[in-house]
Amino acid sequence: MAEKLSDGDRRKALAALKGWKKVRGRNAIEKQFQFKNFNEAFGWMSRVALLAEKMDHHPEWSNVYRTVDVVLTTHDAGGVSALDIKLADAMNRFAG
């Protein structure tokens, strides 16, 4: 089982993740991704979904047209873990 990051470790990890921020009132991180169109957004979500399945770590997300809102937290750890940071970094890389 993944372990929840300390507040200091979470802050340090967030500082290295462009565009991600702490969710207010929750031990989670969030980011909104904007794409050129729905096709790009959905293609990105498909690539992320394949990785998330391999990691057995799934995002909370929603998609409206070209916008994808993402929240990451490790539910069984009770907050942000290294898995969330790894997935957030991959999402940024996949988004270009």
- Residue range 48-71: mean pLDDT, rounded: 97
What is the pLDDT, as a whole number, of residue 56? 93
What is the pLDDT, as a whole number, of residue 57? 94
Q: pLDDT grade, residue 8 (50/70/90)?
A: very high
Going by their DSSP bridges, the two strands 60-64 and 21-22 should be labelled as unpaired
Contacts 24+ apart (CB under 8 A), 18-22: 18/92, 19/92, 20/88, 20/92
Residue whose entry in the numeric block shows the structure tokens 């490790």: 74
pLDDT, tens digit (0-9, with 9 covering 90-100), for 12-43: 999 999 999 999 999 999 999 999 999 999 99
* Average pLDDT along the chain: 96
| Size of the chain in residues | 96
Q: pTM of whole model > 0.75? A: yes
State which CATH number among 3.30.1360.20, 1.10.10.10, 1.10.260.40, 3.30.2290.10 fits the domain covering 7-95: 3.30.1360.20
Domain boundaries, given as residue ranges, for the chain: 7-95
Query: For the CA atoms of 34, 38, 39, 41, what is the dihedral angle to 10 degrees?
Result: 30
